[in-house]
């Protein structure tokens, strides 16, 4: 298609049949995408260094994400640790307490109950507190009898447990009940805080990825200034000129994302060994969750998107700026 010479035809140029044009459009994109791989291959060391920088920058937020994911999982198991302590009135004797116990056992929300008599409690207290003999000077056992109620998993969330507590408190034998989940709430608050911190840090690190790429692409553009001028002189559009740079940015992102994934996988393998000993001591089983396939895809998509963004910022500024001037 000629702008100044309407009668001029360029038979070999992209034809005007829409379908064919579209196909050619994609073929040309593919060519330029592959050409930009060649461009990276031309300077393998510096390309690889840039990719490594991106990979490490991406590995950190990914690791933090996994940290959150795993602590989230751990919290799930702790939620079940919600336990209700029911303190019985002083005048309730053993037989009455047993009755209460049996009644509570029948609650559908209750999984398990345990009775601790005041004598048992005192014995335990003597043993653990270290007051020992001093306590025998008391003329009366000051400790109440206690029923420990473990709710079913449905009612072990803070809200559900609290609801159950209200119900149990209505028993006439119960002086008052206590739900020991404040520590859980505190932990939740701390994890939430960490989460926010991790996201803030993540945003900063992702921003650094964009900036690193913008600068890399800027240098690449400036080093090819002569080529860009020539291309503009023979009629290349800005779109045409910037496309290889955008693809370069995407490739940087993809490979940076892969490096990040490898880094995180290595960290996980390393941590798993250390965690095994820790789990042994707590006599529980802790399984570290890694990146699943979806998360892996998100990581690669995100990193290539960031690569594109960095390149785009650079290209918008520099490719448009370069105009052939010094000579015709």
Partner 1 sequence: MIRFEEVTKVYQGGQQALNRVNFHLKAGEMAFLTGHSGAGKSTLLKLVAMMERPTSGQVFINGHNLNKITKKQVPFARRDIGMIFQNHRLLMDRSVFNNVAIPLIIEGYHLSDIKRRVAAALDKIGLLNKLNNMPHTLSGGELQRVGIARAIVNKPPLLLADEPTGNLDPALSLEIMRVFEELNSVGVAVLVATHDLGLIARMKYHTFTLKQGQMTQDGLSSTDLQESEFEPVI
Site residues (CB under 8 A) for partner 1?
1-5, 8, 10-14, 24, 28, 226-227, 229-238, 240, 323-325, 327-328
Rounded least distance, CB 249 to partner 1, Å: 21
Residue nearer to partner 1 on the CB measure, 201 or 230: 230
Rounded least distance, CB 10 to partner 1, Å: 6
Rounded least distance, CB 327 to partner 1, Å: 6
What are the beta bridge partners of residue 147? 86, 115
CA distance 221 to 324: 14
Q: How far is CA 8 from the centre of its chain?
A: 59
Question: Are residues 250 and 292 in contact, defined by beta-carbon separation less than 8 angstroms?
Answer: no
User: 165 exposed, middle or buried (CB, 10 Å; 0-12, 13-18, 19+)?
Assistant: buried
Residue nearer to partner 1 on the CB measure, 233 or 278: 233
Contacts of residues 267-275 at CB distance under 8 Å and 24 or more positions apart, as own/partner, are 267/59, 267/63, 268/66
CA distance 212 to 101: 66
Rounded least distance, CB 252 to partner 1, Å: 21
Pairing of strands 84-88, 174-179: antiparallel
Residue nearer to partner 1 on the CB measure, 95 or 328: 328
Rounded least distance, CB 230 to partner 1, Å: 5
Residue nearer to partner 1 on the CB measure, 25 or 176: 25
CA distance 326 to 198: 50
Rounded least distance, CB 324 to partner 1, Å: 6
Q: Three-class SS of residue 66?
A: helix
Residue nearer to partner 1 on the CB measure, 112 or 227: 227
Residue nearer to partner 1 on the CB measure, 24 or 254: 24
């Amino acid at each position: 298609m000629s702008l100044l010479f309407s009668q001029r035809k360029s038979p070999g140029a992209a034809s005007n049949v829409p379908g064919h044009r579209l196909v050619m459009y994609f073929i040309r994109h593919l060519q330029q995408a592959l050409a930009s791989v060649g461009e990276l291959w031309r300077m393998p060391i510096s390309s690889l260094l840039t990719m490594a920088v991106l990979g490490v920058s991406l590995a950190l937020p990914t690791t933090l994400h996994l940290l959150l994911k795993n602590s989230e999982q751990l919290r799930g198991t702790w939620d079940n640790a919600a336990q209700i302590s029911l303190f019985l009135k002083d005048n309730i004797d053993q037989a009455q307490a047993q009755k209460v116990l049996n009644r509570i056992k029948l609650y559908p929300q209750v999984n398990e109950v345990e009775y601790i008599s005041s004598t048992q409690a005192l014995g335990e207290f003597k043993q653990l507190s270290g007051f020992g003999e001093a306590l025998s000077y008391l003329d009366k056992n000051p400790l109440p009898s206690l029923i420990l109620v473990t709710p079913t998993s449905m009612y072990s969330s803070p809200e559900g447990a609290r609801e159950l507590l209200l119900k149990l408190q209505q028993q006439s034998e119960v002086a008052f009940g206590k739900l020991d989940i404040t520590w859980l709430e505190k932990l939740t608050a701390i994890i939430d805080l960490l989460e926010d911190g991790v996201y803030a840090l993540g945003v900063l690190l992702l921003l650094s990825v964009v900036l690193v790429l913008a600068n890399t692409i800027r240098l690449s553009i400036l080093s090819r200034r002569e080529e860009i001028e020539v291309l503009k002189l023979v009629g290349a559009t800005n779109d045409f000129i910037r496309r290889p740079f955008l693809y370069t940015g995407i490739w940087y992102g993809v490979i940076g994302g892969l490096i990040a994934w490898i880094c995180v996988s290595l960290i996980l393998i390393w941590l798993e060994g250390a965690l095994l000993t820790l789990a042994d001591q707590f006599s529980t089983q802790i399984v570290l969750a890694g990146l699943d396939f979806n998360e892996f895809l998100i990581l690669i998509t995100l990193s290539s998107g960031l690569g594109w963004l960095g390149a785009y910022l650079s290209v918008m500024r520099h490719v448009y700026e370069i105009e052939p001037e010094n000579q015709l």
